[in-house]
Amino acid sequence: MQIEEIVKACLIQITGGGADQEKITLNTSLAALGINSFSFIQTLVAIETELEIIFPDELLVFSKDGNVNCLVEITTDVYQKKYMGDVI
């Protein structure tokens, strides 16, 4: 499963299935999905569990302007650093 699909699945799980995975795009606002600071942390924990990664504390900041793409990029970066070393 690709990271984008995992992130979307975790967002759907945390929002109680209120969003359809096909309708969530990379530009979809996290706030539009009903994500707040508390559910943002829940989402990160779900992603950490699924991918067996740990987000650094400095990335645990919720922004109302954040979108799905931001979350996918952060997740990809942390995943690559853990499993592939510093790739860039």
pLDDT tens for each residue of 11-47: 999 998 777 677 899 999 999 999 999 999 999 999 9
Query: Across all residues in the chain, what is the average pLDDT?
Result: 89
Cα 23 to the center of its chain, rounded Å: 16
pLDDT band at 10 (very low <50, low <70, confident <90, very high): very high
CA atoms within 13 A on the CB side of 7: 22
Output the furthest CA–CA distance in the chain (Å, rounded): 36
pLDDT of residue 63: 83
Query: How far is Cα 68 from Cα 8, in angstroms, rounded to an integer?
Result: 8
pLDDT band at 81 (very low <50, low <70, confident <90, very high): very high
CB 24 within 8 A of CB 69: no
Q: Which residue has the tokens 């900041």?
A: 61
pTM, to two decimals: 0.88
